[in-house]
Amino acid sequence: MATPTRTDDDTLPGPPPPAPRRRRGARAWLAGLLLLGVSVVTGCRLLDSDGFTPVPQLLAFLPWLAVPTGAALLLAAFARWRTGLVWGVLALALVAWYSEPYGKTSAPDGPPHAELRVMTSNVEYSVATGTLIDAVRRERPDLLFVQECDPGCLAELRKEIGADYPHRTAVEAYGAEGSAILSRTPLRATAGLPGSTLGMPGATTEIKGERVRLQLAHPMPPLPGGLGTWRRELDALHDLAAADDGVAAGPMIVAGDFNATQDHAAFRRIVDAGLRDGARLADSSRTATWPSSTAALIGAQIDHVLVSRDFGARDARFLDLGDTDHRTVVVDLTLHKTPRG
């Protein structure tokens, strides 16, 4: 009896090679990890919370979360993971939604009364004092807010531009604690924010007969282990801005290095107290100010000029001084005669 001949058609299919399945599984796991991280950060943004480390640090770069979200979508597509694709699309939509500028931009109620230019600059342990002086001579601001300005920095400012800015109020301290407000018009020092870790002086001045409150902002950064201090000092700025509902008390400018962006709940509370971001009013939201070395590509807008509803903004510029990790912010404002009551 002849033995049957085996043909290819009779060959039973064997199990598929395990390698492609393992690769798809690894891609799905990596996509899931990326989406989980993005979802935690955007979830805190959705819940109006700054969460816990590393959420506050990542919130500063929220628009850039589109990069890991896009990578997760590609990995989910290669892994044929339908749940991951849906999850990724929703996460990307949430990142895009919260990347939109935050804050009101409605025009002030009253007629224009005066124009002024405000400059704020973190000179990083006074190293950028010389380049700041050059920038001040070019830009000629009416009000200058300087952070991390030690006694030597103050002495140099007094020597080089004191004739143009004879009025100042300062916290004279070394390292990052020193700071100052310089003005062309007379200043009357206020209590500022006593007890803050870094110097935050305050003052009042008159702009064509209108009393304007001034406050320098420089809360501690949201360092791991220091989130309580960061929140407490931002809350103190909120309480100051919210005094008399932030409206009846008159025109106000709060400027400096806030160590916070529009994606931080603690910063939004300050804006919601009745202030508006000068960069937002001038259509320059999301322009990075830190770190200056990468601001052209990736960074966070943590330096702000916040103003009460009495002000409009005509222009905002961001200057690279070269000797500091912050960009200097210059905002041209218009003060309006706003009805009160």
DSSP 92-111: HHHHHHHTS--S--PPPSS-
Whole-angstrom distance, CA of residue 69 vs CA of residue 38: 7
Q: Which domains does the chain have, with CATH numbers?
A: 20-98 (no CATH), 112-336 (3.60.10.10)
Q: Above pLDDT 70, what percent of the chain?
A: 92
Q: What's the CA angle centered on 331, arms 338 and 161, to 5 degrees?
A: 110
Amino acid at 124: E
**pLDDT tens-digit map of 229-272:** 999 999 999 999 998 554 457 899 999 999 999 999 999 999 99
pTM for the structure as a whole: 0.91
Confidence of residue 128 (pLDDT cuts 50, 70, 90): very high
Dihedral of CA atoms 208, 209, 211, 215 in degrees, nearest 10, equals 20
Q: Please check whether residue 206 is in contact with residue 187, taking contact to mean a CB–CB distance below 8 angstroms.
A: no
Q: Provide the 10 A C-beta neighbour count for residue 162.
A: 15
**pLDDT tens-digit map of 260-319:** 999 999 999 999 999 999 999 999 999 999 999 999 899 999 999 999 999 999 999 999
Whole-angstrom distance, CA of residue 186 vs CA of residue 334: 19
Confidence of residue 186 (pLDDT cuts 50, 70, 90): very high
